[in-house]
């Protein structure tokens, strides 16, 4: 699921909120959407929604369902407004995102969705979409990136392939590395590598970020997932490795998870 709440880099101060809870029965308060959807469920539901709305969605899939044999409470799709509508360069990002959200809402209504079957969620819309061949529904989050930031956002918000791992744990690890390399740096899943002293983003380019965090031999593939990060980290920062892991582990523990970096 998307990590709307993990805005920046001090990992111990953040909490993960699970996805798939946007639509609930008004009496029982139980989710109306499937909570243990498989990768196949997500793919089928997103492709069906794509066909129904008449716009490309599946190629913009992110989150855990980009990997096989995962279970999740929602499907995550990150859309860039510039791929769908004319963006006004004189307006700020939020204005263009809101305009695109209205466009998406009209597309949903036009394809037969009722107003109680989709709602505003974060920077986008959450949709209660049917899972083909079943009588179940899946929450599909149509997250709206800032204009021209779709590629970075999908890369940043993807899930983790290993069992028990979450994308949030990768962000926490990158946060810990950033602080160890430079106390003024922080990692934000939304804003990239940021200089905390100035508030300016240093980079949103995966290859450049890898070089900042992992040295001149760092490359984007080193940041693919937690395991590739750990493998590279042992080589390029051996003296700081354990301290980095310990700080990241504290962040995970503060969120009441048992996950261990290893």
On the 0-12 / 13-18 / 19+ scale of CB atoms within 10 A, 68 is exposed
Q: 58 and 144 share a domain?
A: yes
Nearest Cα neighbor of 19 from 151, 196, 180, 143 is: 143
The whole-number pLDDT of residue 7 equals 32
Residues in the chain: 262
- Cα–Cα distance between 211 and 232 in angstroms, integer? 11
- Of 135, 156, 177, the position where a domain reaches its end is 156
Q: 220 and 105 share a domain?
A: no
Residue 190's domain comprises 167-254
Tell me whether residue 161 is in a domain: no
Q: 152 and 175 share a domain?
A: no
The whole-number pLDDT of residue 20 equals 87
Q: 43 and 150 share a domain?
A: yes
Which residue matches tokens 């300016």? 200
Tell me whether residue 58 is in a domain: yes
CATH number of the domain where residue 33 is located: 3.30.460.10
Q: Are 127 and 109 in contact (CB under 8 A)?
A: no
Tell me whether residue 94 is in a domain: yes
Q: 109 and 231 share a domain?
A: no
Q: 96 and 221 share a domain?
A: no
Q: 172 and 232 share a domain?
A: yes
Q: 64 and 89 share a domain?
A: yes
- What is the mean pLDDT for each group of 10 consecutive residues in the chain (262 residues)? 36 46 96 97 98 98 96 97 96 97 98 97 95 98 97 96 94 98 96 96 97 97 97 97 97 93 92
- Cα–Cα distance between 162 and 96 in angstroms, integer? 36
The whole-number pLDDT of residue 18 equals 52
Q: 100 and 177 share a domain?
A: no
Tell me whether residue 5 is in a domain: no
Q: 152 and 171 share a domain?
A: no
Q: Are 141 and 154 in contact (CB under 8 A)?
A: no
Tell me whether residue 137 is in a domain: yes
- Of 156, 176, 203, the position where a domain reaches its end is 156
- Of 122, 156, 190, the position where a domain reaches its end is 156
Q: 124 and 87 share a domain?
A: yes
Tell me whether residue 96 is in a domain: yes
Q: 31 and 130 share a domain?
A: yes
Q: At what angle do helices 206-214 and 167-181 cross, to 10 degrees?
A: 50
Number of domains in the chain: 2
Tell me whether residue 125 is in a domain: yes
On the 0-12 / 13-18 / 19+ scale of CB atoms within 10 A, 150 is buried
- pTM comes to 0.88
Tell me whether residue 262 is in a domain: no
């Amino acid at each position: 699921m998307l990590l709307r709440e993990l805005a920046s880099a001090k990992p111990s101060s953040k909490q993960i909120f699970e996805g798939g809870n946007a639509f609930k029965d008004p009496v029982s308060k139980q989710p109306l959407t499937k909570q243990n959807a498989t990768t196949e469920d997500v793919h089928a539901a997103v492709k069906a929604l794509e066909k129904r709305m008449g716009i490309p969605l599946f190629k913009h899939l992110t989150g855990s369902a980009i990997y096989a044999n995962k279970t999740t409470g929602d499907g995550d799709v990150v859309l860039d407004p510039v791929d769908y509508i004319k963006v006004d360069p004189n307006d700020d990002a939020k204005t263009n995102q809101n305009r695109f959200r209205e466009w998406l809402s009209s597309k949903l209504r036009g394809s037969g969705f009722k107003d109680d079957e989709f709602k505003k969620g974060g920077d986008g819309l959450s949709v209660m979409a049917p899972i083909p061949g079943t009588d179940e529904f899946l929450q599909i989050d149509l997250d709206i990136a800032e204009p021209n930031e779709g590629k970075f956002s999908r890369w940043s918000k993807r899930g983790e392939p290993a069992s028990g791992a979450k994308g949030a744990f990768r962000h926490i690890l990158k946060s810990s590395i950033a602080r160890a390399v430079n106390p003024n740096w922080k990692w934000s899943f939304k804003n990239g590598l940021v200089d905390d002293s100035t508030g300016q983003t240093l980079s949103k380019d995966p290859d450049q970020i890898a070089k900042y965090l992992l040295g001149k031999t760092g490359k984007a593939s080193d940041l693919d997932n937690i395991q590739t990060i750990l493998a590279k980290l042992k080589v390029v920062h051996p003296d700081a490795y354990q301290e980095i892991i310990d700080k990241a582990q504290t962040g995970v523990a503060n969120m009441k998870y048992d996950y261990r970096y290893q």
